[in-house]
Amino acid sequence: MCGITAIVAPTAARDREALLTTMTRTLTHRGPDDEGFYHDKQASLGQRRLSINDIYGGHQPISDDSGNLVMTCNGEIYNSPELRQQLEAEGYPFKTQTDIEVILPLYKKYGRDCVKYLRGMFAFAIWDKADSSLFMARDHMGQKPLFFMRQDDGVFAASEVKALLEVQSAKREIDMTCFWHYISMRFVPDDYTFFKGIHKLQAGHWAHFKGGDITVQRYWDIDFSEKHAGSVDEVEEQLNKVLLDTVRSHLLSDVQVGAFLSGGIDSSTISAMMAELGQDNLPVFSIGVKEAGFNELPWARMVVDKYKMQGHEKVVSADLIHLIPKMIHHMDEPSDPFGVGVYLVSEMASQHVKVVMTGDGGDENFAGYDRFAGQQLAEYYSMMPAWLRKQVFGRMIDLVPDSFGYKSVAQKVRWLQDMSFYQSGDRYVQSMTFLRFTQEAKEELFTQEALAQITDRDSPDKVLQFFNADNVNELVDKMLYSDLMTRMPDHLLMIADRMTMAHSLESRAPLVDKELVEFAAKIPANMKLKGRDLKHVLKKTASRYLPKELIYREKQGFGFPIARWMRTDLNIFLRNLFAESRFVELGVFRKETIDRYLEEHLSGQSDHNFRLWILLNLELWYRLYFEEQSVDDLQALTDKLMQA
C-alpha cells in the first residue's frame, strides 16, 4: 500500500527529479515505511511505501529483468500466488516476493490487457523505456486512486491531487461544473476533480501516454443480464463459498490483519468469516456515539463476544467539527459525514495494525439501502390520483414537523411524496438528490455569473447512463448497477481510501472484490430484495455466522446526529462561517439562498443538515486550497467561529 507519482515531461532532468521528490513526499502519510525513485532522460517515477508484503524486499519502483519496464504501484494483488506460479512455469523470472511484481510479466505478455488478469485493488504506472510510453491503470472498482494532469507535451500523475498541485505551472482554478454535479450527487462523477485541468483516472480504466497524446479506455464492466439458476438456498450456498474464498484471499499479508466492526450485517459477517478462517483473537475496531438512536456498539460487542475477538471501541461527540480541516486536507475535496466515522476508527486501528478488512459494498451489491424498497413503495403510492396526492396528502405532509433525527418520519413521508411524481430512472436520480440539491435547488443557489461557467448541467445523466444501460433489465439491478458504477468508486471507496491512508492504514473490502461483484450481479433481483426484506440472500449467509437478532433488526446505519448538533453545539459556528462566505464574496452562491437554508434549519422549520454540511465544507475547502491556510489555521478559525 503506497502513494505513487510519475512524470513524463521534456523538462530538465534535475528540475524533474526535484519536483518528483517534492510530489512524492506530500504522500508520506500513504507510505511512511520507505521511499524510492527512478529517473532517466525522459521519465521519473516515485513511491512512498507502507510495507505489507515482502516487508524487506519489496522496494519500489521495480523493474523487469530487461530493465526496459519500470513500475510504481499502489495496492494488493490477491491472486498473485496463482499468477506467480503460472508465470514462473512459463520462464518469467522474479526478483522479490512482493505481490505486485506479477504485473510486469503480465504486461510483457498481454500489454494493456494485463489488467484483465488481476484480482485486487491497485493503481500503477509502468514506464516503457523502449517504447517511450507510460501505461497507467486503476482497479476494477476503484479502490485505489490515480489522478493525472497534462502540461505542454508532458503528463504528471499521482495518488492524490495535492501532489499534482506541487507542479508550479499548475494553475489552481475551480472547476465549476464539478461543483454543480457534486452538490447534487454527493460524489464527483466521470473524470472530474474540483480543480480544472486535473483529471481522475476512473475505476476500471487504463490510460496510455505516448508522444504527447493520451488515450483513456474502460477495460471492465459488470454484466447483470445473465442470472444464476437454482433456488435461493442453492444460490446462497454458492455465495457463502465465494465470499469465504474472497475473505481468505484478502488475508494475504506479512503483517497482522484486523477489521472494522460497525455492528451491521456486512462488517460483522466479514469479521466472523475471518475468525472462522483461523484469525484467533482478531483485533476489531468500533466507534459509537452517546445518542442511543445512532449507537451500534452493543451489536458490535455481540460479535466480539461470540468469536472472542480483541475488541477496541471509542465513543465520539460533536467535537467532530474540529476534524473537518484534517479530513479535507486528506480528501482534497469536501469531507462527508460518512468519512468522520472512517477517519476516527482508522485513527484508533492504526495504533494496533497496518491492515483492516471492511464491510464496504454489501449494500451496493445486495440491495441494502431503504431507497431500494422505497422505490417500489413510491410506485404504489404514485397510482393514486395526482390531485389527491398534491392537494390532500401534500398539505397534510407539510404539517408533519421535522424531528431532526435519523430517518425521521417527516423526512420519509416527504421523500415518498416527492418521489411519487417521478418515474423509473428519473425517480431514482431524484431520490439521490432529494436531501441535497436538486436541479431546481441549484438554480436558486448559483448566481447567473457562476451558471455561465458550467459547461454541463445534466447531473442526472451521470446516473441515468448506467440506469438505462442495455446490460441491466430489472429495477433493482438498475439501481445496483448505477450505484456500483458511480457512488461506490467515487464516494464510498474514495472516502475509505483517504480516511484510512490518512493514518497509514490499509483497508481491504472483500465485498467489492471483482469476483464477488461479478457473482452478485448474477443473483436474481428478487433474492436480494424480497418484498421489503433488504439483502435477503446475504442475510441467509450471515445467519450462518451471526445471531439472528443482529441480522433481522431494523437497519440502523452508522451516523452522527449532525442535524441536532447544528441546531445546538454548532449553531454559532454556522452563523459566523456563512456571514463570511467566500463563495458569496466570489459571486458563486446567492447569499439569500444560504441564509434561508440556515434560518429554516436553526429555527426548526426544515431539516437542511445535508445541504449545510456541503456548504460549510466548501467554505473550509476553499480557504485550505485557494487561500492556502494550513490545517492548523483552519482549526484555529473553527475555534474562533465557535465563539459568540
C-alpha cell at 326: 484534517
Q: Are 438 and 430 in contact (CB under 8 A)?
A: yes
Q: Which amino acid is at 137?
A: A
Q: In 3-state terms, what secondary structure has residue 313?
A: strand
First to last CA, the chain: 45
Per this entry, what is the length of the chain?
644
| DSSP string of 423-454, one letter each residue | -HHHHHHHHHHTTS--HHHHHHHB-HHHHTT-
Whole-angstrom Cα distance, residue 5 to residue 31?
12
Give the residue from 594, 639, 636 showing the smallest Cα distance to 615. Answer: 594
H/E segment holding residue 381: helix 370-381
Task: Report, as residue numbers or ranges, the catalytic residues.
Answer: 2
- Residue 234 Ramachandran class (φ > 0 left, ψ -120 to 50 alpha, else beta): alpha
- Residue 628 Ramachandran class (φ > 0 left, ψ -120 to 50 alpha, else beta): left
Residues contacting residue 248 through CB under 8 Å, at least 6 positions apart: 277
Q: Are 76 and 91 in contact (CB under 8 A)?
A: no
What residue ranges in 50-112 does DSSP mark as E strands?
Answer: 62-63, 69-77
Whole-angstrom Cα distance, residue 544 to residue 562?
35
Q: Which amino acid is at 359?
A: G
Whole-angstrom Cα distance, residue 523 to residue 229?
9
Whole-angstrom Cα distance, residue 493 to residue 488?
6
Whole-angstrom Cα distance, residue 364 to residue 266?
11
Q: Reading across the β-sheet that carries 2-8, which strands appear in turn?
A: 34-39, 43-49, 2-8, 154-158, 147-151, 198-200
Between β-strands 257-260 and 154-158, what pairing exists: parallel, antiparallel or unpaired? unpaired
Whole-angstrom Cα distance, residue 596 to residue 599?
5
Helices and strands (H, E) in the chain, number of each type: 32, 17
**C-alpha distances in Å from residue 357, one per residue of 282, 347, 361, 406, 415:** 11, 15, 12, 27, 34
Site of grid cell 455466522: 545
Give the residue from 269, 230, 268 showing the smallest Cα distance to 541. Answer: 269
Whole-angstrom Cα distance, residue 31 to residue 48?
4
Give the residue from 450, 446, 438, 454 showing the smallest Cα distance to 593. Answer: 446
**C-alpha distances in Å from residue 18, one per residue of 154, 205, 365, 518:** 16, 29, 44, 43
Please state the three-class secondary structure of 9-49 as a single string: CCCCHHHHHHHHHHHHHCCHHHCECEEEEEECCCEEEEEEE
Whole-angstrom Cα distance, residue 435 to residue 611?
7
